[in-house]
Amino acid sequence: MTTPDPAPRGTRGVAPRVGVPPGETPPAEGGTSGISYPEPPAPRRGWESIPVVLIMVVAVLIAIGLIGMAVSLMA
C-alpha cells in the first residue's frame, strides 16, 4: 500500500512504527442517533381571527377619518 503523503515521517501526530495516537483522528461515525432536541411545532398556515379583525378595525377607522376630512373640506 502506498501513502498519499509524500513525506510520512514529517507528518504531525504520526509516531514512528506505532501509527497515529488515539485522539488525533475523528471517529469513523457518530455515537449518537436521532435528533438531539425536540423539534418545534410546525408553523400555522393561516392567520388567526384576532389579528385580521384588528387590521380591519384600523382600516375602517382610517377610512372614516379620511371621509370625515374630505367632508369637512367641502363644507
Residue 73 grid cell: 373640506
What pTM value is reported for the model? 0.41
Confidence band (pLDDT; 50, 70, 90) for 60? very high
pLDDT in tens, 1-59: 555 655 555 556 555 666 666 666 666 666 666 667 788 888 877 778 888 999 999 99
Q: Indicate if the pLDDT at residue 70 is higher than 90.
A: yes
